[in-house]
Amino acid sequence: MFTTDFKETPYWWDHAPPEPKADTTLPKQVDVAIVGSGYTGLHAAIQTAKAGRSTLVIEAEAAGYGASTRNGGQVSTSIKASLPQLTKKYGPQLAAEILGEGQASLTFIKQFIDDEKVDCDFQVVGRFHGAHTPKQYQQLANGLGVNRDVFSDDAFIVPRSDQPTELGTEAYHGGVVFPHHASLHPAKYHRGLLGIARNNGAQIVTHCRVLDLDRDISGFRLKTQMGEVRAKRVILATNGYTGPLSPWQQRRIIPIGSYIIATEELPKSVMDRLMPTDRILSDTRKLVYYYRPSPDRKRILFGGRVSLQETDPSRTGPKLHAELARLFPELAQTKISHSWSGFVGYTFDTLMHAGNDDGLYYAMGYCGSGVGMASYLGMRIGQQAADNPAGLTAFNKIPFPTRPLYFGNPWFLAPSVLAYRIRDRLGV
Ligand SMILES: Cc1cc2nc3c(=O)[nH]c(=O)nc-3n(C[C@H](O)[C@H](O)[C@H](O)COP(=O)(O)OP(=O)(O)OC[C@H]3O[C@@H](n4cnc5c(N)ncnc54)[C@H](O)[C@@H]3O)c2cc1C
């Protein structure tokens, strides 16, 4: 019987818990100060430290407190916009470059984990993306044709008749498999990055919010909860946790809560029937569900947006469980063991952005798909801050849009979620 006695911390923290607060002091002056210690901040730090720049990462909470230790561990090419949409906006060359960055992010994270031997359950398992209506199935099939012209991704269509080899549910009308997508354990990956950043000489100071950022003649002055530090350059790596520290970025990032549960351990026979492969899973709903087996194949981790307003995991746990049971009716009586949430950073054009305003660098806006892309853009923005021209990306060439009357509080979120929910139910 479903109960509410679940933990309200990420399942991942059972194996890689947040580090306890350490006794640290802030340096007086560094070459590069990085605000935020998720994948973006740590990958940036690895680059600047490797390039010989004295590097300080400052984190308001425990290291990796944000989305980087809370996510679903699904690794994809991250770009939501299609080739025709991007071509219409940016022309064929820049559109291809942008999609190329998505592929580059996937290649980068695989190579990085392999080269650095990061112990994080990384596996190239592929993704099954289910069509929640026949129309969506047709669109998936058509879309594959378009993207194949540019990228030789060997994605393939799975008709409904073959679906049982992918997933034990009647809820989809077929789908598409992206064989190169991967999975990992987000908190173990983050723990690995922390070690690599430190080994390269970066200092990580946690439980220390940056309160204010001023420019002066030699760069920046950062006022923090632990005092002041000067930096020649600053990298903002705050994504869905971007706040009033950086009003320009705050006007461009839409923080959206994403909610996720883990089931109790399930019998092997049930896991093998419902999830015959290790693939990561998602679907064509606007309010997408993302789910997967746990790395040990004993549980199902299931995430999505099930509330109009931001709320807490004690409320979303039962709602997510109900959606899980809709896909897999035999899980109606299964208990959940964990329910948690975190903030993703959305943008008005659904693209991620990276850039630099006279020494103030930023990389953010991964729109809920940042495991690979935050790693990659963190690496690239670190290179930029270390004056390495290889750091420039297609995202440096596009504007980072905002909207009139938007200052960081997404007042339009609840009506948008409601509209998407209605569209998803109507199957349009
Ligand atoms: C529930 C959930 C599921 C997700 N699932 C997936 C998935 O399966 N696949 C995928 O690709 N992506 C997923 N994502 C998105 C992905 O996790 C993020 O895109 C990625 O982790 C962003 O990394 P980041 O380093 O940019 O930001 P974060 O990891 O969010 O780090 C930002 C940090 O900045 C700190 N900070 C903010 N302001 C300050 C300040 N003033 N001073 C000091 N520190 C500050 C915050 O405390 C925070 O720790 C998911 C996200 C969530 C929340």
State whether the beta carbon of 74 lies less than 6 angstroms from ligand 1.
yes
The tens digit of pLDDT for each residue in 20-58 reads: 999 899 999 999 999 999 999 999 999 999 999 999 999
Residue 10: phi and psi, rounded to 5, are -60, 140
Select from 8, 42, 59 the residue to mutate for testing ligand 1; criterion: most ligand atoms less than 8 Å from CB.
59
pLDDT at residue 418, rounded to an integer: 75
Which pLDDT does position 308 carry in this prediction?
Answer: 74
Q: How far apart are CA 275 and CA 292, in angstroms?
A: 8
Q: What is the pLDDT of residue 149?
A: 42
Beta carbon of 301 within 6 Å of any ligand 1 atom: no
Per-residue 3-state assignment (H helix, E strand, C coil) for 182-243: EECCHHHHHHHHHHHHHHCCCEEECCCCEEEEEEECCEEEEEECCEEEEEEEEEECCHHHCC
User: What is the Å distance from ligand 1's center to 68 Cα?
Assistant: 5
Task: Tell me the per-residue pLDDT of 248-285, one tens digit each, with 9 for 90 and over.
Answer: 999 999 999 999 999 999 999 999 999 999 999 999 98
- Give the mutation target among 34, 57, 229, 239 for probing the ligand 1 site: most ligand atoms within 8 A of CB: 239
* 8 A C-beta contact, residue 201 and residue 181: no
313 lines ligand 1 (CB under 6 A): no
Q: Is the CB of residue 382 less than 8 Å from the CB of residue 47?
A: yes
pLDDT of residue 113: 98
pLDDT, tens only, 106-141 = 999 999 999 999 999 999 999 999 999 999 999 888
What is the distance in A from the centroid of ligand 1 to the CA of 39? 8
Q: How far is CA 103 from CA 75, 332, 422, in A?
A: 11, 38, 33
- Please give the distance, rounded to the nearest whole angstrom, from the Cα atom of residue 281 to the centre of ligand 1: 20
Residue 28 has a pLDDT of 97
Amino acid at 390: A
* 355, amino acid identity: G
Amino acid letter, residue 34: I
Q: What pLDDT score was predicted for residue 189?
A: 98
In the chain, which residues have pLDDT < 70?
1-3, 145-153, 428
